[in-house]
Amino acid sequence: MSHITIYHNPNCGTSRNTLEMIRNSGIEPEIIHYLDTPPSKQILEKLIADMNISVRVLLRKNVEPYDKLGLGHIDATDEQLIDYMLQYPILINRPIVVTPLGTRLCRPSEVVLDILPKAQKGAFSKEDGQNVVDEKGNRLI
């Protein structure tokens, strides 16, 4: 069985949609509620490296600590930004999914389809009604 991990926020629609697409492939992932159990500095740095993105791409901008900390206006180093994310996990953008085929920030949620080792088992629509996969498991978007 393929091991998949999702860094998940159940209050986020994108995260919920991503989780359900993983389940629609017949896999129950390891779910890490990263707001309650933030990754270690070492794990966060590895996730960023594995996604091949900059630290700033992973930084959420539309949450309270971002403006309060002045993160949009300061020239913080990557290490400083990672320290802020560890201190305020809400600053970590989500969901992050780790599969044998890669690690991705799944925004939009259908990005997860690129790294799932198993095909979708049936139709899937996002919470907003947007069809993502048809009844034969074919990707629509």
Catalytic residue ranges? 12
Side chain identity at 84, as an amino acid letter? Y
For tokens 């403006």, what's the residue?
67
Phi and psi torsions of 102, nearest 5°: 145, 175
Please say whether the beta carbons of 140 and 131 come within 8 A: yes
SS percent in the chain: helix, strand, coil, step 5 = 35, 15, 45
91 class by beta-carbon count within 10 Å (0-12 exposed, 13-18 middle, 19+ buried): buried
Nearest 5°: CA angle at 100, between 95 and 103? Answer: 30
Closest CA to 35 of 78, 99, 92, 83: 92
